[in-house]
Amino acid sequence: MRYAETGYNLEVDLTRGNIEKVQTDPKLTKLYLGGQGTAAKILWDRVPPEVDPLSPENLLIFSAGILDGTPVPGANRTNVSTISPQNNLYKDSLFGGFFGPELKHAGYDKIVLKGRASNLVYLWINNDKVEIRDASHLQGKGAGETADIIKEELDDLDIQVAAIGLAGENRVAMASIEHSNASSSRGVGVVMGDKRLKAIAVRGTKDLNIAKPAELFEKSLDMFQYIYDHPEYCGDFMAHEDDEEWHVDNFAWGNARERRKGFWNKEREERWKALSESIRYRWNGCYNCPRDCHQALQYPGHHTIFQKCYSKLTYAMAAYEELDFNYKMISRTQQYGLDGYSTPQVLAFAVELYEAGILTDEDLPDFPSDSAGRFFYLLEKIVHRDGFVGDALAEGVYHAARKIGRGAEEYDHNTMKKNEQVPVKLGRVAYHYFLMYATGEKMNITQIEGSFPQIPIPDKEAREKFVQGWDAAPDYFKNLYLEWEPRTQLSVDGAVRVVDWNELMHYVDDSVGTCAFLSSFRGQFGGRPPYHIHNLPVFISQATGMDIDADQLWEIAARNRNLVRAINVRRGMRREDERPPEDHWKKREPEMEQKLLDEYYKFKGWTNDGIPTKGRLDELDLDYVSQELIDRGIITGNEEYLSQSSSTEETA
pLDDT digit string, tens, across residues 194-235: 999 999 999 999 999 999 999 999 999 999 999 999 999 999
Q: Kindly list the strands in the beta sheet with 8-13, ordered across the sheet, starting from the edge strand earlier in the chain.
A: 18-23, 8-13, 110-114, 60-64, 78-83, 90-95
Nearest 5°: the CA angle 532, 535, 538 is 140
Residue 646 confidence (pLDDT) above 60: no
Q: What is the mean pLDDT of residues 314-321?
A: 96
What integer pLDDT is reported at residue 651 of this predicted model?
53
Q: What is the mean pLDDT of residues 391-409?
A: 98
Of the two residues 292 and 238, the one the predictor is more confident about is 292
Q: What is the mean pLDDT of residues 46-70?
A: 98
Q: What is the largest CA-CA distance in the chain?
A: 69
397-404 and 342-355 helices, crossing angle to 10°: 30
What integer pLDDT is reported at residue 482 of this predicted model?
96
Mean pLDDT (the chain) is 95
CB atoms within 10 A of CB 474: 23
What integer pLDDT is reported at residue 650 of this predicted model?
52
Question: In sequence order, which ranges of 337-370 are alpha helices (DSSP H)?
Answer: 342-355
Model pLDDT for residues 66-88, shown as the tens digit of each residue: 999 999 999 999 999 999 999 99
Q: What is the mean pLDDT of residues 456-484?
A: 95
d(CA 588, CA 379) in angstroms, rounded, equals 35
Q: What percent of the chain has pLDDT over 90?
A: 90
What integer pLDDT is reported at residue 246 of this predicted model?
85
Burial 280-295 (b: 16+ CB within 10 A, else e): eeeeebbbbbbbbbbb
CATH number for the domain running over 8-203: 3.60.9.10
Residue 465 confidence (pLDDT) above 70: yes
What integer pLDDT is reported at residue 643 of this predicted model?
79
What integer pLDDT is reported at residue 642 of this predicted model?
83
What integer pLDDT is reported at residue 648 of this predicted model?
62
Q: What is the mean pLDDT of residues 28-35?
A: 98
Q: What is the mean pLDDT of residues 310-319?
A: 91
pLDDT band at residue 444, thresholds of 50, 70 and 90? confident
> Are 239-378 and 429-651 the same fold in CATH?
no
Q: What percent of the chain has pLDDT over 70?
A: 99
What integer pLDDT is reported at residue 308 of this predicted model?
77
Burial of residue 264, with CB atoms counted within 10 A of its CB: 0-12 exposed, 13-18 middle, 19 or more buried? middle
Domain ranges within the chain, ordered by starting residue: 8-203, 239-378, 429-651
Would you tell me which CATH number, out of the four given (1.10.10.60, 3.40.50.720, 1.10.569.10, 1.10.3720.10), belongs to the domain 239-378? 1.10.569.10
pLDDT band at residue 29, thresholds of 50, 70 and 90? very high
Length of the chain: 652
- Domain 429-651 listed as CATH 1.10.599.10: yes
- End-to-end CA separation in angstroms for the chain: 36
